Structure 1
Amino acid sequence: MEKKRAQHNVIITGATGMVGEGVLMRCLESEEIDAILVINRKPCGYTHPKLKEIIHADFFDFSAIESQLSGYHACFFCLGISSVGVDGEVYYKMTYTLTMHVAETLSRLNNDMTFCYVSGGGTNENGRLKWAQVKGKTENDLTRLPFYQVFNFRPGFIKPLPGQKYAHKFYKYINWLFPIGRAIYPNGFCTMAELSDAMIHTFKHHNERRVLEGKDIIALAKE
């Protein structure tokens, strides 16, 4: 008798950004994902039988929607801002404080949850660059929360999926660089499909806490 696959219900944040949208698109196509909840400040523009959307403005206070956040097995956290031109205190609040509030809430409500955090290449809490320090602290403190698993993804350059609405416009001018960059420095280049599939494949792992660089993401995507 064939063993029945476990239920895989996921929460995705950042679905109105390039990475979150790509992960959402891939999850909608995946037979491994049974139900998807996206939490956004504005509608993501996607509809699907297994998709539910919550529009919520304040990501620093989830008390009004907590009753809808239980029963999920993973969070694919794709929400974030660039540090370019952003005040240091604002960047810390939007990167560390916001992420930790969401993570602490979800870990309290879902005791068997896997948390996948999209970080960045060069992240290091003890590094010289302020953004790398903030991202590194976020990564490290996420691993201390009572999640079943935590995976910190450092994808570098990401090639968008065809048809993405929220991909940065400049990608259509620089995508031709992808195969060259991948050949020269494979650890810094992955596709959106690889990043998304790697997140989905974390369900095949058990009680892990890992940092995934580009090569690790590509390998996990192929499992």
Structure 2
Amino acid sequence: MTALIGKKFENGVFIMADKRITYRGTENFSDDEKKVIALNQNVIFAFAGVKNIIDICMEELKMFSLGTNSIEEIEAQSQKLFRNSLEMFQKLYPEQDYATVYLLAGFTADGIPRVTYFSSDDAFQKSHPLDFFYKTFPNTEMMYLRNYLINEVDATRTDLYYFIIQFSSAIRQINNEKVSKTAYSIFLTKNGLFEIDIDEDGIIKIVQMNLDS
């Protein structure tokens, strides 16, 4: 289960997810999974669904992303890699559910923030641009999250701290044992990357990321 929420700003992109990962075929889980990942200083990645599909080619996508800042090139490469990952997973586990989505966010060559959504429904081959977005797996929690975001969140606001509080509150209130009360997020800006950890009490810790360290 994953709760994933994000918003595109005029000067950047903010994406948050809960931190719980459940190990397939067991009741075991951990609450230290970062489902939002910096690929380089210009592009971030987030996922929800089957972690096995993501893991198959994640390192290869990271390596590719270190060689380019082009969000368009990274999107195209990701579609090739994750289509192959999906095919491999389906061959290995033909009876298992494979519903998975991922997001790529970055800046275009002319400095405009861009967020694109890809889904296993079409083998990650169609791209969908987004501005304000949310996703849960399983979909049973989507109605709750949708209603909360519509009724409690003013999407026209521009202050990041407001969205950190509102998005993390939405995640903590999801009543599903597969969703943690903790959350992790990244804010991508032209001035750098900032990671934000939110604990189960809503305490916020913000740190500027240094990918070279």
Q: Same fold, TM exceeding 0.5?
A: no
* Structure with more of its chain in strand, by fraction: 2
Give TM-score, length-normalised by structure 2: 0.30
Give TM-score, length-normalised by structure 1: 0.29
* Structure with more of its chain in helix, by fraction: 1
